[in-house]
Amino acid sequence: EENLAALEGGIDCRATSTGMSAIAATMHLFQPGDHIIAGHDIYGGTYRLFDSVFRKMGIEFSFVRMGDPENVRRAMTAKTKCVWIETPSNPLLNIVDIAAICDVARQGNAISIADNTFLSPYLQRPFEHGCDIVVHSTTKYLNGHSDVVGGCVITRQKDHAEKIAYIVNALGLACSPFDAWLVLRGVKTLGPRMEAHQRGAMIVAKYLQAHPRVAHVYYPGLTDHPQHELAKRQQSGFGAMLSFDVKGGRPFVEQLLSKLKMFQLAESLGGVESLIEYPDTMSHASMNEAARREAGITDSTLRVSVGIEHPDDLVADFEQALADH
């Protein structure tokens, strides 16, 4: 916990049993009648927790296009207590201006919470842009070896730290000692892993962008990404998550997935091995179809977690899988 707090620049950290339990812990800071604003294209599990669990407990949620801070400002009410930030977003890698959103939240007397799972503190530190609380699924990049399920809540203010510590203890959300030890082991190689991850991701993204069977690539490192300059300003790298739309819809998606050899079909991310998944029926299946389409997820969208394998091998795998036979 001290290690993760130091990495993010916080004063306290509570390690939890999962990433979702970390998010759930933060939601217990709020009361029935409170209002929370979140992005329209957030992780499906977070959307489900907000929309199906905490909404029933009396907390109201608005899901807005957070790429424009004015959308957040317009959604603010006297009851708004929190703005939930996920950047880059999952799975379409939209970038949120953390400083601008945190400023809007502050003006409305609301706190800001950022999910920094996709980049890790090696590539992005939300506290430096004014955020109040940071959460992670430590399952992903912080651990990095696909052998842990865990999360954490990092705070930079004493009152938040005390409340989160109480909630995690009272609800029994704490991380097991062995899982904590494994995450601490994983963090030791975080820097070299992230460098290898994002180096490969850029090569794979550029390859897919040029392929005739690919309609669009979502990766902030590409210069045609609409928030490329913003990503350069608030991040120290572009990360290793990317998504792309194929031409041919679900039939071609199924063909592609059946032919890939190095990319394992799995919903997780952030491990040393490359993974691919189909958000429509996997990571975002908990969102209804209308919400998925509103978020920009189609039946042609695939999400990739680029591992640390040699990029030439990853490109070769896509080359054979995308080929017409």
> What would the mean pLDDT of 74-92 be, rounded to a whole number?
98
DSSP designation for 126: G
Residue 36: closest CA among 12, 58, 5, 3: 58
> What would the mean pLDDT of 151-166 be, rounded to a whole number?
99
Determine contact, residues 44/284, Cβ cutoff 8 Å.
yes
For residue range 125-135, list pLDDT tens digits in order.
Answer: 999 999 999 99
Reduce the DSSP state of residue 63 to 3 states and report it.
strand
The CATH number of residue 218's host domain is: 3.90.1150.10
Check whether residue 126 and residue 67 sit in a common domain.
yes
pTM of the full structure: 0.97
Output the pLDDT for position 325: 53
Cross-strand bridge partners of residue 243: 218, 303
For residue range 35-62, list pLDDT tens digits in order.
Answer: 999 999 999 999 999 999 999 999 999 9
Last residue within a domain, chosen from 142, 166, 187: 187
Instruction: Look up the domain containing 102 and give its range.
Output: 2-187
Structural domain total, the chain: 2
Cα–Cα distance between 276 and 325 in angstroms, integer? 21
Check whether residue 24 and residue 150 sit in a common domain.
yes
Cα–Cα distance between 212 and 253 in angstroms, integer? 15
DSSP designation for 54: I
Check whether residue 183 and residue 128 sit in a common domain.
yes
Biggest CA-to-CA distance, the chain: 61
87's torsion region: left (phi>0), alpha (psi -120 to 50) or beta? Answer: beta
Check whether residue 176 and residue 216 sit in a common domain.
no
Determine contact, residues 38/63, Cβ cutoff 8 Å.
yes
Check whether residue 315 and residue 230 sit in a common domain.
yes
Check whether residue 109 and residue 166 sit in a common domain.
yes
For residue range 262-272, list pLDDT tens digits in order.
Answer: 999 999 999 99
For residue range 162-206, list pLDDT tens digits in order.
Answer: 999 999 999 999 999 999 999 999 999 999 999 999 999 999 999
Check whether residue 199 and residue 183 sit in a common domain.
no
Residue type, 193: R
Check whether residue 29 and residue 173 sit in a common domain.
yes
pLDDT at 286 over 90: no
Check whether residue 86 and residue 38 sit in a common domain.
yes
Check whether residue 194 and residue 178 sit in a common domain.
no
Output the pLDDT for position 123: 99
Dihedrals phi, psi of 77, to nearest 5 degrees: -130, 175
Q: Return all residues near 36 (Cβ < 8 A) that are at least 6 apart.
A: 30, 50, 59, 60, 61, 62, 80, 81, 82, 83, 84
Q: Return all residues near 204 (Cβ < 8 A) that are at least 6 apart.
A: 242, 304, 306, 311, 314, 315, 318
Check whether residue 97 and residue 206 sit in a common domain.
no
For residue range 301-313, list pLDDT tens digits in order.
Answer: 999 999 999 999 9
Establish how many alpha carbons lie within 13 A of residue 73's alpha carbon, considering only the half-sphere containing its beta carbon: 9
The CATH number of residue 157's host domain is: 3.40.640.10
Check whether residue 169 and residue 291 sit in a common domain.
no
Last residue within a domain, chosen from 125, 154, 187: 187
Q: Is the peptide bond between 220 and the residue preceding it cis, with omega within 30 degrees of 0? A: no
DSSP state string for 176-244: PHHHHHHHHHHHTTHHHHHHHHHHHHHHHHHHHHT-TTEEEEE-TTSTTSTTHHHHHHH-SS--SEEEE
Output the pLDDT for position 275: 98
Determine contact, residues 16/42, Cβ cutoff 8 Å.
no
Last residue within a domain, chosen from 187, 214, 230: 187
